[in-house]
Structure 1
Amino acid sequence: MSFKNFKCVPKIIFGRGSFVQLDSVLAAERKTDDDFVVFLVDDVHRQRPLANRIPTHNGDQVIYVNVDDEPTTDQVDGLTEQVQTVSHKAPVSVVGIGGGSTLDLAKAVALMLNNAGGSAQYQGWDLINHAAIHHVGVPTVSGTGAEASRTAVLCGPVQKLGLNSDHTVFDQILLDSELIAGIPKQQWFYTGMDCYIHCIESLNGTFLNEFAKAYAEKAMLLCREVFIDDHADKDDKLMMASFMGGMSIAYSQVGACHAVSYGLGYVLGYHHGIGNCLAFNVLEDFYPEGVAEFRAMMNKHNIVLPTNICKDLPDQTIAKMVAVSKSMGPLWENVYGADWQNKVTDEMLTQLFRRI
């Protein structure tokens, strides 16, 4: 029997106001006068106070990235080339500041600076050949678990699939809950539900073990304190839940919701958070208690999901989504076990998508 040798983030700073320590973290990587850092920052922060707090030094690159759409392999390759054309040497660190999409871009660029070719060729599991540039994650939205995960999820020319590798994991993360204040309510909810769904899929999966269970159970309790109890410390709690939910799936796996959501995201362009919510809302046969509680959370926060978005789509569009979803073998194995291919049929997936 082979046990999973799981790599986790080696260095973590947690606490309100801890963003001020980013400069000292990066100072440890700066060895010579021409060493530089690349900051990939969600462009929503361009006109916000955080932009003036980024600890830049001479020679550093601050690149504002747009994540209105899901991150793509073309976007990663373009950013990588942009970094490489500015200097003859590689940066000493790549820092991602933003939500899950921005963090995934930072992870992917850090990888591609040390791995030849386009990023699409590394979509899959354990295809990365060389370690990434030192990279740091600073989430300003909580829920995706991207700060903890070993994947950078990208839409490529053929599929939506992550660069899944131990090399993808951040070298350092900085969790400052002050940075998530002021997020639009819908984004806050949809992204937070990504964390809640991570817990549901982990706890109900065939890959469940006590390691994953311990993280998922605690993250689930924190999600309830945030989205049901409206706790005074909900920002701290959601940031911790996001990390622990990511840790849970790192030693287990996500499930049916993420498999269906990947189809929605790749073909229709839905962002991961709302895509998960749209998918989860029709999965009561898979996760009855979780879906019921999810709907109660939606009601409490007056969240109304779009409906009938797939009902009248052309058959060929549905078929594309089915193909993407069906290609998520490890996710479906977590749902059904080793014989998942006998149960995940085109007909079953088509019926699910038509209900969304």
Structure 2
Amino acid sequence: MSYKNYPMVSRVIFGRGSFNQLGDIIAPKRRNIKAPFIFLVDDVFKGNSWLTSRIPLAYQDKLIYVPTEEEPKTSQVDKLTEEIILSFNERPSGIIGVGGGTTMDLAKAVSIMLTNDGSAKDYQGWDLVKNPAIYHVGIPTISGTGAEVSRTTVLTGPERKLGINSDYTPFDQVILDPELTKDVPKEQWFFTGMDCYIHCIESLNGTFLNAFSKSYGEKALELCLEIFLENSLTAEEAQDKLMMASWHGGMSIAYSQVGVAHAMSYGLGYLLGTKHGIGNCIVFDHLEEYYPEGVKIFKDMKAKHDIELPQGLCADLSDAEFDIMIDVALSLEPLWENAIGKNWKKKVTREKLKSLYSKM
């Protein structure tokens, strides 16, 4: 049997205000004064000087605001990569992503595409990247996706929604500063936090589970239950703990896999553009058959925080549109195998998925 030789983030810094150390951290990585650092920043921070004034721009460094209304696309990665190549004679010293899961996925993907030919869509899948990425740093400003720690960058391409899963994807450096999450709107906080909670449930109930994933998944789950069901935490404690839950949740799927909610959420995301966190919640709400205990607790969390999920997303879809979503969901074979086992194809039929999607 061969075991996965899993790459991890090689350096991480945690603490309130640690964002202020960014300049000192990246300075030794500058190749020369003509090789810029490119800062990809979530455009929600446009005009937010509390954050942007602290970005340590020097020499020819460039700050690019990236729109995050929609899930990241392979075409967006290609456009950013081309913009960077055409703007500078030198290969950049590094890419720094500051924002939520979308921004971090874009930073990971662009750092890969600057050293690999072709289009980002050519690398959607497992272990297709040939050349190491350039130096890249992830700085999450919202917690839950696990994008800061995973070896995946999730992209919607012309044919599928699928991650670039490679040993070159993980960040070289991550800065975990819980203070950066203080202005996240409540609903977004909930949906992204639930992405982490669902990671844990899918990992801990999967057939790929082992002691490595279990130790991280159990810790992340314990933190999620404390954050979303108890009343004893201050706002700052909740921010700190959710940042740690996100890290541990991302690690728990590193050596296992996610499951049914993620597979079906990719279908919604591909066809309807549903954002990942909210898509996971919409799907998970209907998965009692697969995760009875997890869904029950999820409904309790939803009630406690007074969260209304969108209804009727699939009400007016044609059969052809259902087929597109089902094709995308079924293409994520490792997720189904983790959720249901090797003979999953006998149990997960197109009719079954259509009846589930019809409820959403």
**TM-score by shorter chain over 0.5:** yes
Unaligned runs of 5+ in 1: none
Deviations 1:192-234 (A, max 9, x none): 0000000000000000000000000000011111111142200
Counterparts of 1:14-53 in structure 2, within 5 Å, are 14-48=14-48, 49-53=50-54
Counterparts of 1:1-356 in structure 2, within 5 Å, are 1-48=1-48, 49-230=50-231, 231-232=233-234, 233-356=237-360
* Cα distance, 1:324 vs structure 2: 0.4
Secondary structure of the corresponding residue to residue 28 of structure 1: helix
The amino acid that maps onto 1:310 is C
TM, length-normalised to structure 1 = 0.99
Secondary structure of the corresponding residue to residue 30 of structure 2: coil
**Maintained 8 Å contact 2:33/2:60:** no
* Cα distance, 1:312 vs structure 2: 3.3
Q: Aligned partners of 2:240 and 2:214: how far apart in 1? A: 21
TM, length-normalised to structure 2 = 0.98
Q: Aligned partners of 2:87 and 2:273: how far apart in 1? A: 32
Q: Aligned partners of 1:107 and 1:97: how far apart in 2? A: 11
Secondary structure of the corresponding residue to residue 138 of structure 2: strand
The amino acid that maps onto 1:198 is H
Deviations 1:225-272 (A, max 9, x none): 111114220000000000000000011000000000000000011000
**Maintained 8 Å contact 2:216/2:252:** yes
Deviations 1:54-81 (A, max 9, x none): 1111200100000101100000000000
* Cα distance, 1:31 vs structure 2: 3.8
The amino acid that maps onto 2:353 is L
Q: Aligned partners of 2:13 and 2:319: how far apart in 1? A: 49
* Cα distance, 1:34 vs structure 2: 1.9
Deviations 1:95-154 (A, max 9, x none): 000000000000000000000000001000000000000000000010000000001100
Q: Aligned partners of 1:31 and 1:274: how far apart in 2? A: 40
Q: Aligned partners of 1:11 and 1:171: how far apart in 2? A: 6
The amino acid that maps onto 2:217 is A
Q: Aligned partners of 1:74 and 1:308: how far apart in 2? A: 29
**Maintained 8 Å contact 2:40/2:96:** yes
Q: Aligned partners of 1:91 and 1:327: how far apart in 2? A: 35
The amino acid that maps onto 1:322 is I
Q: Aligned partners of 1:35 and 1:25: how far apart in 2? A: 16
Q: Aligned partners of 1:32 and 1:257: how far apart in 2? A: 46
Return structure 1 stretches of 4+ with deviation > 3 angstroms: none
Q: Aligned partners of 2:344 and 2:63: how far apart in 1? A: 45
Secondary structure of the corresponding residue to residue 13 of structure 1: strand
Secondary structure of the corresponding residue to residue 12 of structure 1: strand
Deviations 1:284-335 (A, max 9, x none): 1000110010010011111000112213321111111011001010000001
Unaligned runs of 5+ in 2: none
**Maintained 8 Å contact 2:109/2:153:** yes
Q: Aligned partners of 2:30 and 2:156: how far apart in 1? A: 33
Query: How big is the alpha-carbon RMSD for the aligned residues of Structure 1 and Structure 2?
Result: 0.8
The amino acid that maps onto 2:276 is H
* Cα distance, 1:2 vs structure 2: 1.0
